[in-house]
Chain A
Amino acid sequence: MIVPERVLTFALDGEIFAIDAQAVREILEVPAITRVPGAPDFASGLINVRGAIVPLTDLAVAFGMVHADHGEDTRVIVIEAEVEGEPTTIGLVADKVLDVAAMEGVPVEEAPPVGMRWRADFIRAIARPQGQFVILPDLELIFAESLGMATRQERAA
């Protein structure tokens, strides 16, 4: 299990998520979002990030969580990720951005296959700093899955 050295932690529906700080490009206040009619819920909108058009994704949808309305603390985390082998800039919605933390010395466990509300393979690992639960999502798999769903939808249509 490869654990990034430093992670950015953020809150989503009361849970704490952590993503590799290396992948993060910037954190924005929620910009104007353009809804794409007919797009999957996971990536339902587009935002303008310094002249580039970036899809806005919502991990809450992937994890079947309650999708909170955008509040004062809501932020968009812009990350660079590989989507099916292509480097892509993607925006992630976070209810609140918490911290950048070093992972050294933090106990990390594999996700237990049972006892969770979420799909276990979407979670790469669970870190436990000071007794908290921090979820390290497998973003690549989540993106790939949602793309697969998008094409399935298209075929069904």
Chain B
Amino acid sequence: MSEDDPVAAFRVEAGELLDSIEAALLDLAGDSTNTGLVDEVFRGLHTLKGSGAMFGFEALARFTHHCETAFDRVRKGQAEASQALIGVVLSARDHMQALIDVGTQGDPMLEMAGEAILSSLEKAVANSEGMAVPRAIQTERKGWHISFKLPPGSMANGTNPLPLLDELRGLGDCRITPRLDEVPPLASLVPTECYIYWDIVIEGDVTCEDIEDVFIFVIDDMDLAITPLIEEPESDEPVEVLPVATVLAAPQPVAKAAPPAQESVRVAAERLDELMNRVGELVIAQSRLAQLATSSGPVNELTLRAVSEDIERLSAELRDTTMAMRMMPVGNLFGRFRRLVHDLARETGKTIELVTHGEATEVDKTVIERLADPMIHLIRNSCDHGLETADDRIAAGKPVSGSLTLSARQAGGEVLIAITDDGRGIDRERVRAKAEAQGLIQPGAVLGDGELFQMIFHPGFSTAAAITSLSGRGVGMDVVKRSIESLRGTIDITSTQGVGTTMTLHLPLTLAIIECMLVRVGEGRYAIPLSVVEECIELPAAEVTSTARRNFLDVRGELVPYLRLRDTFGTDYPADLFQKVVIVGQGRGRVGLVVDQIIGNTQTVIKSLSRFHAGQGSFSGATILGDGNVALILDVGNLIVAAQKNQRLLGERAGEVA
């Protein structure tokens, strides 16, 4: 496909249109009287139809036409934007996506599916017609009082007031009164200006929109006042007429998300300029270096160092700029879940309110893309198993509508994304019983909440059977955990029975480059991600010779288990006299890693391990050091788990002895 393939461009545009239609539909589901939203859907459909036909997507244009017609009726107040209608149009939106994907050829199967959607669309429109809600700015049978004044310079720009007046006359009975009091004396009159303004009384079956349509080309600048001739007899609060069973409770207005993730990335022009500046500086630095390299005679050390420092600064800035271009707001991701929650609410018959916070938090593009599937699973879980049915909620004294909160915030080098529901919470006893039955934990073993809930992520640990009687579906939680771990992230669960559950995903800001602490163990050098390093201390002399019976350190009154990496890695290189302990922490776990030497900080480009070493466990990747050697990057999460397991084994052994 060539780069400027117009069909590809249309697909991208159509994708964006469909996304905005979906967003508007979902907003509309919570606020069905919002004419702005109705207009937005209508405009989206209209544009899609037009450009679809232009690029040869005939089936799409034909199909979209019907939806557009339906929404035109809603726009004109002849039908109501009912939940049923929104549901049908949402599925129609999916069908449009399918039509776009299939291409200009068309597909008989799709056509059939389309017919089915159209017939339910007709039904939905027909049903809602009777219930059409009169809106404040709608059909006012008595008539309108209009006064309008054209903006200065509009006649010069080609606006002619006479056809406007003619058009108004076409709408109904008009009494037009020209106002001449602003017409200046002849001497100062500019012939291209319109000094006259008009008062018009129009009677008949005319809507306010009809009148506004007349002035559509000049409405932005002109003075236009449209008032109903006679006040409405009773102020008919339209909100009260709404069907009470709004399936999706009014969501928080979601911040307009940036364009969705596609193969192409939109980059702010200023970021590109910044990048270009850096590259320019780098070229200059490089030529200086080349000059130094080819110059005869001894090279001034200071000059060389200056160039080196320049290049160091530039590469750091280049890295930051490039990285910034890869960052996308998580609002993109959250936006996709609104539809999911809407559909889940329908499927499960629950009322679910989706609240989102921190959409502006930026995460690496790759993380966002790979986060969608695990999050879909977690959200499904929360809606399916977490939130109770309306009856149960009332019985438990909770509001009928369940709430699901997605929030994102940045904390240090991590982004925290939390999925919170106010459902029934996780039943600890059942999880424990299940884990004991499966032999994952010793009966009676003392486990913290964190450790106990981690059992849910064990492969084959059926959450459905353990926690609710509802059946699970799709991928298991172990897959969720694995995909989060492949992003170098972790999942924390906190849950209070009867109050709700929070799943917090800890994710790295970026995948490609991290700051690392370089350490030496034996003759090997290893990198520890700096984001998890808490402090470094010297291994107390008493611990150096102690046997492996008690691997604890007293760090300011707190017991921290430690791992001797020399033993873990089985090195026989002579140990350093003064070994150091790097205290690392991730989530709630905290552990000391005993190393021979701390070399220093370094920036590392993470490379994945080959398939021969991927299953190693202790390492999350490898990197190339400044001298060209390969260093392994420690997988701190796994090491913490290993240390805690050790500690528990020791504890159990101690218990047996006693």
Residues of A within 8 A of B (CB): 31-32, 34-40, 42-43, 46-48, 51-55, 57, 83-84, 86, 88, 90, 146-147, 150-151, 154, 157
State which of B247-255, B307-315, B492-500, B624-632 sits at the interface with chain A: B624-632
Chain B residues contacting A147 (CB-CB under 8 Å) are 611-612
B624 close to A51 (CB less than 8 A): yes
CB of B631 to closest CB in A, whole Å:
7
Q: Is there a chain A Cβ closer than 8 Å to B393's Cβ?
A: no
Chain B residues contacting A84 (CB-CB under 8 Å) are 611
Chain B residues contacting A150 (CB-CB under 8 Å) are 612-613, 615
Chain B residues contacting A57 (CB-CB under 8 Å) are 612
B611 close to A86 (CB less than 8 A): yes
CB of A47 to closest CB in B, whole Å:
7
B617 close to A43 (CB less than 8 A): no
Chain B residues contacting A55 (CB-CB under 8 Å) are 610, 612-613
Residues of B within 8 A of A (CB): 524, 568-571, 607, 609-613, 615-619, 622-624, 628-632
- Give which listed residue, B568, B571, B617, B629, contacts A154 with CB less than 8 A: B617
Task: Determine chain A's interface SS by DSSP, over half rule.
Answer: mixed
Most buried by B among A38, A42, A83, A146: A38
Contacts beyond the supplied A34-B622, A54-B610: 11 A-B pairs with Cβ under 8 Å: A34-B629, A39-B613, A40-B612, A51-B624, A53-B607, A83-B611, A88-B611, A90-B610, A150-B615, A154-B616, A154-B617
A46 close to B611 (CB less than 8 A): no
Provide the bound-state CA to CA distance between A36 and B630, in Å: 10
Contacts A32-B629, A36-B619, A38-B569; A53 near B610 (Cβ below 8 A): yes
A36 close to B629 (CB less than 8 A): no
- Give which listed residue, A34, A38, A40, A151, contacts B630 with CB less than 8 A: A34
Provide the bound-state CA to CA distance between A86 and B631, in Å: 24
A53 close to B616 (CB less than 8 A): no
Most buried by B among A46, A51, A84: A46
A34 close to B610 (CB less than 8 A): no
Provide the bound-state CA to CA distance between A39 and B609, in Å: 12
Q: Please list 12 pairs of residues, one from A and one from B, whose beta carbons are closer than 8 Å in the complex, sorted by A's number.
A: A32-B629, A36-B613, A37-B570, A46-B610, A46-B632, A48-B630, A53-B623, A57-B612, A84-B611, A86-B611, A150-B615, A154-B616
Q: Which 3 A-B pairs have the closest CB atoms?
A: A37-B569, A43-B612, A55-B610
B618 close to A53 (CB less than 8 A): no
A38 close to B570 (CB less than 8 A): yes
B628 close to A151 (CB less than 8 A): no
CB-nearest residue of chain B to A84: B611
Provide the bound-state CA to CA distance between A73 and B498, in Å: 71
- Give which listed residue, A35, A48, A88, A146, contacts B628 with CB less than 8 A: A48
